[in-house]
């Protein structure tokens, strides 16, 4: 079967003022089936957000290309809905208006009433039915991210891109929103790619977990199939011994890779300078500091 999303040889390098250009991501290949939920996991700073940003079209890849649903894509567009880490709601609009901004763009053939209904539907599905006419400033962090999710789904995108969407939430809210996301994803049969550094989140949500090696020149390390039946429940997962085996494997990979990081040599052991007791007096210390400066 042809993949729904195909990334081939994607890479990103930045020129540096002096010396060779910095290679962030190199030779990144990945194929997603239609309707699949895939997570990218890796240490922070390894370049996983860069990969997502390139797929979203917000960062231009230095090498390689991608095909989405049979077409090559370049540049950003509403066929790829993005849920940003900070929800990135526009603070001068209400949650509803934020969603409508995208709905107006995508459903330009629908009339105003239909568009309003689309926005209201997604907002109520994520649980913002009551609060949709509030500005982000009056919403909690979790509610803002709900609006961010609603905005992405309301675009009815071919591909859903999530950049550590729950990274800034407390763990209870995070669990709640993971279920909201899973529910929406299942209802809409979306293909989704999510970046995270939370092992449990990756296992709970995804069909496959792609582990990235550490940068510079990060790329796909290993791929883990997560075969738990859907719909999933957290309790059921936690009762499954296979869950712990997968978890072990993921953490093992991450720890091993983190040891590959270059570590600076420990500082040389220099004994603290011993001073004559007289110089510890405040005035002397002050004078000393002044002359030293």
Q: How many residues in total does the chain contain?
A: 293
Q: For residue 141, what are its two tokens? A: 């962090």
Stretch that binds other proteins, among 53-61, 173-181, 218-226, 251-259 (CB under 8 A): 53-61
Pick 94 or 214: Cβ nearer other proteins: 94
Q: Is 118 in the site for other proteins (CB under 8 A)?
A: no
**How near is the Cβ of 88 to other proteins at its closest, in Å?**
4
Pick 22 or 90: Cβ nearer other proteins: 90
The values of phi and psi at residue 204, to 5°, are -70, -35
Coil, strand, or helix at residue 18? coil
Q: Is 14 in the site for other proteins (CB under 8 A)?
A: no
Pick 67 or 101: Cβ nearer other proteins: 101
E-assigned strand segments in the chain: 5-14, 22-32, 37-41, 63-68, 71-72, 80-83, 159-163, 191-196, 208-212, 220-225
Q: Is 105 in the site for other proteins (CB under 8 A)?
A: yes
Q: Is 88 in the site for other proteins (CB under 8 A)?
A: yes
**How near is the Cβ of 122 to other proteins at its closest, in Å?**
15
Q: Is 137 in the site for other proteins (CB under 8 A)?
A: yes
Q: Is 149 in the site for other proteins (CB under 8 A)?
A: no
Coil, strand, or helix at residue 57? coil
Residue pair 128/147 in contact (Cβ under 8 Å)? The answer is: yes
**How near is the Cβ of 144 to other proteins at its closest, in Å?**
13
Residues 6+ apart with CB under 8 A from 82: 56, 58, 152, 161, 162, 163
Please name every residue paired with 28 in a beta bridge, in sequence order, or none if there are none: 10
Among 102, 142, 165, 215, binds other proteins (CB under 8 A): 102
The values of phi and psi at residue 169, to 5°, are -105, 155
Pick 11 or 157: Cβ nearer other proteins: 157
Among 42, 61, 81, 165, binds other proteins (CB under 8 A): 81
**CA 129 – CA 135 distance, rounded (Å):** 14
DSSP 8-state secondary structure symbol assigned to residue 98:
H
**How near is the Cβ of 145 to other proteins at its closest, in Å?**
14
Residue for token pair 């990945």: 30
Q: Is 80 in the site for other proteins (CB under 8 A)?
A: yes
Neighbours of 201 (CB within 10 A): 21
Q: Using CB under 8 A as the criterion, which residues of the chain lie in contact with other proteins when the complex forms?
A: 56-58, 76-78, 80-82, 84, 86, 88, 90-93, 101-102, 105, 137, 155
């Amino acid at each position: 079967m042809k993949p729904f999303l195909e990334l081939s040889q994607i890479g990103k390098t930045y020129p540096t003022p002096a010396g060779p250009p910095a290679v962030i991501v190199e030779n990144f290949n990945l194929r997603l089936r239609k309707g699949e939920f895939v997570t990218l996991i890796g240490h922070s700073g390894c370049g996983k957000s860069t990969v997502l940003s390139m797929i979203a079209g917000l960062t231009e890849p230095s090498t390689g290309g991608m095909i989405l649903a049979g077409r090559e894509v370049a540049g950003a567009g509403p066929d790829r809905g993005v849920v940003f880490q900070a929800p990135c709601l526009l603070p001068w609009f209400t949650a509803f208006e934020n969603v409508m901004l995208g709905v107006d763009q995508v459903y330009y053939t629908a009339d105003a009433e239909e568009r309003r209904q689309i926005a209201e539907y997604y907002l109520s599905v994520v649980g913002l039915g009551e609060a949709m006419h509030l500005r982000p400033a009056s919403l909690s962090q979790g509610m803002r991210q709900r609006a961010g999710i609603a905005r992405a789904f309301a675009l009815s995108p071919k591909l859903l891109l999530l950049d550590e969407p729950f990274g800034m939430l407390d763990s209870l809210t995070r669990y709640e929103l993971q279920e909201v996301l899973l529910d929406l994803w299942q209802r809409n049969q979306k293909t989704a790619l999510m970046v995270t550094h939370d092992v449990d989140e990756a296992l709970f949500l995804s069909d496959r977990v792609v582990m990235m090696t550490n940068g510079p020149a990060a790329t796909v390390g290993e791929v883990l199939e997560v075969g738990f039946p859907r719909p999933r429940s957290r309790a059921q997962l936690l009762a499954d011994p296979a869950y712990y085996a997968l978890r072990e494997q993921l953490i093992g990979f991450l720890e091993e890779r983190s040891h590959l990081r270059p570590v600076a040599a420990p500082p040389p052991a220099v004994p603290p300078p011993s001073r004559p007791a007289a110089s510890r007096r405040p005035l002397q210390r002050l004078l000393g500091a002044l002359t030293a400066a």
